[in-house]
């Protein structure tokens, strides 16, 4: 696990979705996560969103909800790129799409007590409506 030790320490400071619990998530977004996206895939490659990959400042994109911290695992690189373009359009910092082994990210999620949301190919989701940038 070459990425994940640094990620856990930097998650709160790097992820745009962690603004002092004042993130305004729409109910539609949360219901989509709960019903459409909470899928499982036992193995293989998934695409995650990383900030400053391969550096000491590396962090993973996450969304804080009342139910806990969500890490999105995209089945399709194309869908992950679409999501990053939506982040950019809302003035969020833009992460890098990175392919990782599912087993590695699942271990990181379990050790960090987060929740992984597997986003099946072709399912488009919207980021939170609030940006942390001025």
Q: Does residue 37 form part of some domain?
A: no
Q: Does residue 21 form part of some domain?
A: no
31-36 long-range Cβ contacts below 8 angstroms, 24+ apart = 32/125, 33/65, 33/70, 33/117, 33/125, 36/123
Q: What CA–CA distance (Å, rounded) separates 9 from 102?
A: 21
Quote the pLDDT of residue 65. Answer: 87
Q: What CA–CA distance (Å, rounded) separates 15 from 20?
A: 12
Q: Does residue 125 form part of some domain?
A: no
**47 or 24: whose pLDDT is higher?**
47
Structure pTM? 0.67
Query: What does the pLDDT average to over 54-64?
Result: 92
Q: Does residue 133 form part of some domain?
A: no
Q: Does residue 131 form part of some domain?
A: no
Q: Does residue 57 form part of some domain?
A: yes
Q: Does residue 92 form part of some domain?
A: yes
Q: Does residue 24 form part of some domain?
A: no
Quote the pLDDT of residue 130. Answer: 61
| Contact criterion met (CB below 8 Å) for 105 and 2 | no
How many domains, in total, are found in the chain?
Answer: 1
Average pLDDT, the chain: 74
User: What is the extent of the structural domain holding 60?
Assistant: 4-16+45-119
pLDDT tens, residue by residue, 89-126: 988 889 999 999 999 999 999 999 999 999 999 998 88
Could you tell me what percent of the chain has a pLDDT over 90? 51
Token couple for 98 = 């990175």
Quote the pLDDT of residue 43. Answer: 55
């Amino acid at each position: 696990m070459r990425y994940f030790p640094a990620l856990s320490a930097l998650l709160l400071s790097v992820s745009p979705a962690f603004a002092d619990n004042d993130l305004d998530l729409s109910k539609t977004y949360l219901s989509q996560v709960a019903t459409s996206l909470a899928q499982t895939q036992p193995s293989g490659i998934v695409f995650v969103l990383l900030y400053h990959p391969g550096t000491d400042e590396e962090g993973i994109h996450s969304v804080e909800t009342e139910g806990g911290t969500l890490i999105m695992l995209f089945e399709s690189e194309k869908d992950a790129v679409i999501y990053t373009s939506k982040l950019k359009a809302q003035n969020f910092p833009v992460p890098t799409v990175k392919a990782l082994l599912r087993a590695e990210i699942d271990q990181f999620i379990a050790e960090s007590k987060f929740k992984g949301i597997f986003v099946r190919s072709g399912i488009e989701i919207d980021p939170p409506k609030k940006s942390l940038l001025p």
